[in-house]
Amino acid sequence: MSNKDIFSERERGLEEEYFMRKERELIEKLRQKNSAENAQQQMAAATGIQDTEVVEALQELGYTPDTVMLLHLVPLIQVAWASGDVSDKERELILHAARSRGVGIGIGSTAETQLNEWLTKKPADAFFENTLRAIRIFIEAQPAGQRREARQDLLSYSRSIAQASGGFLGIGTISGDEEVALEAIANIIAKNNPDAAEQIIGE
């Protein structure tokens, strides 16, 4: 075989390898796209939110179809962290809130792992704020008669967390930091509705 034939053969081999690599990359991109679309559909089904941009924003925050059920627990976690750490009583109340809301957190499940992580290591402030914005959109999508109840329900749970470790021997007083957290939560979920914000802060 001449040197020319050897080089030609090697060139063909390199071309085939190049196109095979590109084909694998294309297949992987298509798989990722299909996986992302399936996850979005599952997230939309779990939350009832059909706005693709909102669902994508939740995914960017780290929520998955297995953890988006924890969405409404995040304000409670935010209040628990306002005092600097999460007490055993606060953790217990958050788990109770999960059960009362019908959130299934199985032992060893992805949801349990994520919740424990949030209760052990404080999430970033931006995570709390953006989650609250998502919750506001979720509430606004509900029928008018249910919005006020949903806001009050959220703040009631959050206030019970704030009261869990306050005051003398842990009875009845909310710290200044926790009040600030509660007000921030109320203002975000009732944005563009100052009367609603004032009502739920005062209750």
Contact 61, 126 (CB under 8 A): no
- Encoding tokens for residue 118? 């949030």
pLDDT at 156: 87
Mean pLDDT across the stretch 174-193? 83
Structural domain including 16 reads 3-47
Task: Please indicate whether residue 159 or residue 173 has the higher confidence score (pLDDT).
Answer: 159
Task: Please indicate whether residue 138 or residue 27 has the higher confidence score (pLDDT).
Answer: 138
Mean pLDDT across the stretch 142-170? 79
pLDDT in tens, 21-45: 777 777 677 676 666 677 778 777 7
- Encoding tokens for residue 55? 């669902």
Q: Based on the domain organization, do 35 and 66 belong to the same domain?
A: no
**Is residue 53, in this structure, part of any structural domain at all?**
no
pLDDT in tens, 60-104: 888 888 888 899 899 999 999 998 899 899 999 998 888 777 666
Mean pLDDT across the stretch 8-25? 72
* pTM of this prediction exceeds 0.75: no
Instruction: Give whole-number Cα distances, 64 to 43, 67, 108, 121, 192, in Å.
Output: 7, 5, 16, 19, 29
Mean pLDDT across the stretch 153-157? 87
Q: Name the residue type at position 143.
A: P
Q: Based on the domain organization, do 117 and 170 belong to the same domain?
A: yes
Contact 178, 79 (CB under 8 A): yes
Place of tokens 């071309």: 15
pLDDT at 196: 47
pLDDT at 202: 45
Q: Based on the domain organization, do 22 and 120 belong to the same domain?
A: no
In whole angstroms, what is the distance from residue 94 CA to residue 74 CA?
A: 9
pLDDT at 167 over 70: no
In whole angstroms, what is the distance from residue 106 CA to residue 178 CA?
A: 30
In whole angstroms, what is the distance from residue 195 CA to residue 201 CA?
A: 10
28, 47, 66: which is the final residue of a domain? 47
Contact 92, 116 (CB under 8 A): no
Q: Based on the domain organization, do 128 and 33 belong to the same domain?
A: no
